[in-house]
Structure 1
């Protein structure tokens, strides 16, 4: 019986080390985050108050298991994070209803850094965040007047119900 336990323990250890990725950490993180997406339609469905978007660069990935083939049983939290351009005039319409103040962006995945202009001064409003999320999920939304951009960082954003 002891030999059998030893063999089982050795097999479990081998399986555990065999499943561990041998890729560098940055490469594993990149794979877990999936590809940088440029389609705006999924963002427009999840954040309809932003209106039409273009020039989108974003990631949507599982915070626990990632997109690299690993699987963890149970509920997953999906992070949707990125930047997109607002249509002309949308910045003024959005900021007219809320009090915005200067803010710093949260830590974003490295692969999105190149899509964030250095001269984009960011503004944020807690009431604007609440209006977009309707308290159904967590999310932070930052606007840049100088660049006409929105930067978003959300977890488990739900698509808005279609209008009748």
Structure 2
């Protein structure tokens, strides 16, 4: 009888420790400050895109108001926004046949960025290009608009 109760206590204790350490699932909650406009961090993270300009982006912890429930991990940091590529760069990147770019809708982005999406963009996406930029090291989605010379990026742990 004593072994059963000791085993039950150990199982309950292990469960309590596991639940205390698991924290909450990340959920988008953009409340981390103003839209950023500097390009250097983006050029460093997404070197294949080359020089960027006219950037509008957010970099934030996906666990809204992370009030000590968990320590932010690299995969909790979302980098999302728009930037202009050098003249002709978007057309050059999308013209590589092996990348197999095709039309794709922009999808949902944080409200703060909605006004920065070019209205006349025809977005092109390639899973192969995503993998090329990220090197498989982090999840990321990159849409290019050759018509506007713009990239839309949405990545985790990119910096």
List per-residue Cα deviations over 1:9-60 (Å, max 9, x = no partner): xxxxxxxxxxxxxxxxxxxx55x23210000000000000000000000000
CA–CA separation in structure 1 for the residues paired with 2:32 and 2:101: 30
Matches within 5 A, 1:79-158: 79-97=78-96, 98-158=99-159
Tell me, yes or no, if the aligned pair for 1:64 and 1:72 is still in contact at 8 Å. Answer: no
- C-alpha RMSD over aligned residues: 1.5
Name the structure 2 match of 1:57.
Answer: 56
CA–CA separation in structure 2 for the residues paired with 1:33 and 1:105: 23
SS in 1 for 2:108: coil
Name the structure 2 match of 1:43.
Answer: 42
Q: CA offset at residue 83 of structure 1?
A: 0.1
TM-score w.r.t. the length of structure 1 is 0.72
Q: Which runs of 5+ in 2 are unaligned?
A: 1-28
Tell me, yes or no, if the aligned pair for 1:65 and 1:71 is still in contact at 8 Å. Answer: no
List per-residue Cα deviations over 1:68-112 (Å, max 9, x = no partner): x73332343100000000011211331233211000112100110
TM-score w.r.t. the length of structure 2 is 0.74
CA–CA separation in structure 2 for the residues paired with 1:72 and 1:40: 32
Q: CA offset at residue 119 of structure 1?
A: 1.4
- Count of residue pairs the alignment pairs up: 127
SS in 2 for 1:33: coil
Tell me, yes or no, if the aligned pair for 1:52 and 1:86 is still in contact at 8 Å. Answer: yes
Tell me, yes or no, if the aligned pair for 2:88 and 2:146 is still in contact at 8 Å. Answer: no
CA–CA separation in structure 1 for the residues paired with 2:92 and 2:145: 13
